[in-house]
Structure formats: structure tokens, C-alpha cells
Amino acid sequence: MPHSKNITIYAMSQKGYAVVQALIKKKLLTENDLIVFGRDNDVDIDYADEIIALCENNNIRIEERKDHQEAKTDYVMAISWRWILPSSKKLIILHDSLLPKYRGFLPLVSALMNKDTIIGVTALFANDYYDSGDIIAQSKTDITYPIKIQKAINLIEKNYQELAVKIVRNIKEGVELKAKAQNHDEATYSLWRDNDDYRIDWTKSAEYIQRFINSVGSPYLGASSILNGELVRILDADIFPDKNISNRDPGKVIFMEYKKPVIVCGSGLLKLTVIKNSKGESMIPLKSFRSRFE
């Protein structure tokens, strides 16, 4: 049997933690392997401390990104990694979309926004153009709506773990990793997002806005709007039966339902059930009925 290969795993977020956890459980990591972790201030929990504790409790070598120089192992695998790594035939990316769909940034958010009923993960070899390398394997999961981003992440954890265990086991056993080229004509792209992209467009339908709120909630910052000159986060909402409104003006409060504001949308109505200010304090009940979300 060919000699066992070693691997460096760049792991971040809940997904990275889940992969390291699965590999340790299957006894696929040794003292010659390395876990590199990074920190992310743009999410509620970045799982850096959890990854550290997991590795230390199981005697797995670990380094923080700022202290890490370069990978010297036979293979490299990256999960939820935010920084550029040198591309090579030995660099394996785990990407949370079924490529060639949603190359790029936050593909799972884009899938939920587009109401895809199948989500999943692709393992591919890196090349010079992001997410366009040859595909090693894919794993997928069926979903139904409404669904929040955290639940979707919980579901695709298993897809990440399944692919990582299969690939690392093959690496350890010296089995060649075979890959197939993507159909580049079918590629779609998911753009990066910043704070402006969390802002709700009230001219959209109530169903779309609810899906948007569900798609960018925890572990991300949450959908936002301006209320009386203050930026607020809208973290949960329910569809409310629509009414015949003669002067439909999206963003305005039309009713108070058990102290929760019902907002006029481009089509339909939406009851906001969780609203918080920049300090994390609840904004319900609103100070004034005559309020407009902008």
C-alpha cells in the first residue's frame, strides 16, 4: 500500500469545526497533520475557540493564521477560509454550493434567497479562477421553506463531514483523488456582501422579504432598516394576510398585532416579531404607531 499522506486543514466557522470534529472521530488525523484556524469578527460565533479546544483535547497540531507561514504537507484542504491560498493540484476547497452554480461568496445565502430546494457542498481542486477547478465529489440535501440560514448550515454540516471524511480517508490510504472538469457554460456567480447588502427593500414582496430576513440572520448580522433615523436589525417576521390598500406605501406601519408592527410591502404584509437596535435591545413595542421603515 502507498505510504500515508499528511494534510493541512484551514478551518473556520461552524462548518470548519464540524469537519475537524468528524475527522477526529474517525481517527483520520495524526501528529503529522495540521489545523490552521482564523478569526472572523463579522459573525456571532466564529468557532475559533471551539476548534482550538477540540484540537488540544485530541493532541492535534494547531496554529493561528497570524502565526502560520505555509503548508508543508502533501495535501491542503480549506473550509470557510476567507483568505487567498496558493492554488495547486494539492489544494482542495470545500464550497457550500453545488458547482458550477453559485461560484463566489456566501453561496448558501444566495441559494436560500433564490428559494432553491436542493443545497449542498462541492469538493474541488483549486485553480487560478475561484471555484472553477475540477470537481472531486459533491453531497446534497433537500430543504423546504420557510427556512432560516442557521438551520440550513446545520443541515449541510453533514454534507461537509461526508465529503471531508471520504477525501481524507483516501489521502491517508494513498488512493488517487479523481476529479472531473466543470461545465463552465452553466456557471453562475454569487457576489460578495457588505453592510449595505443587509438593508431590506420594502418594495419587494412580503414573501421575498421574509426569505431575505431568514437568509441573512444569525450567524450573520441580520437584515437591517432605518427606523426614525436609527439603524435597526429585523431578525424574525411572519407573513400577515394582505389588505386592499388604496395608497400602498412600502415601509409604513399599517397595524399593531399584539404590539408587533405589521408593515406594508410592495405586495403583501409582514409582521415584524423581533427588532433590535445597535445595542441589541428590543424595539418592540414601537414608540410610535406612525413609523416608517426606510
Looking up cell 486543514 gives: 9
CA 212 – CA 222 distance, rounded (Å) = 9
Q: What is the pTM of this model?
A: 0.91
Confidence at residue 84, expressed as pLDDT on a 0 to 100 scale: 84
- Cα-to-chain-centroid distance, residue 13: 9
Fill in the amino acid letter for 14.
Q
Task: Please say whether the beta carbons of 117 and 146 come within 8 A.
Answer: no
Confidence at residue 258, expressed as pLDDT on a 0 to 100 scale: 93
Task: Please say whether the beta carbons of 167 and 122 come within 8 A.
Answer: no
CA 217 – CA 201 distance, rounded (Å) = 16
Digit-by-digit pLDDT tens for the chain (294 residues) are: 455 689 999 999 999 999 999 999 999 999 899 999 999 887 778 899 999 999 999 999 999 999 998 888 999 999 999 888 876 669 999 999 999 999 999 999 999 999 999 999 999 999 888 899 999 999 999 999 999 999 999 999 999 999 999 999 999 999 999 999 999 999 999 999 988 999 999 999 999 999 999 999 998 889 999 998 999 999 999 999 999 999 999 999 999 999 999 999 999 999 999 999 999 999 999 999 999 999
Contacts of 154 (CB under 8 A, 6+ apart): none
**What structural domains does the chain harbor?**
7-190 (3.40.50.170), 197-276 (3.10.25.10)
First to last CA, the chain: 65
Confidence at residue 3, expressed as pLDDT on a 0 to 100 scale: 53
Fill in the amino acid letter for 199.
R
DSSP per position, the chain: -PPPP-EEEEE-HHHHHHHHHHHHHTT---TT-EEEE---TTSS---HHHHHHHHHHTT--EEEGGG-----SSEEEEES--S-----TTEEEEESS-TTTTEES-HHHHHHHTT-SEEEEEEEE--SSTT-S-EEEEEEEE--SS--HHHHHHHHHHHHHHHHHHHHHHHHTT-----B---GGG--EE----GGGGB--TTSBHHHHHHHHHHS-TTS--EEEEETTEEEEEEEEEEE-----TT--TTBEEEEETTEEEEE-SBSEEEEEEEE-TTS-B-PSPS-SS-BB-
Task: Please say whether the beta carbons of 20 and 54 come within 8 A.
Answer: yes
CA distances from 3 to 7, 21, 26, 170, 173 (A): 13, 24, 19, 12, 7
Phi-psi region of 28 (alpha: psi -120 to 50; beta: other; left: phi over 0): alpha
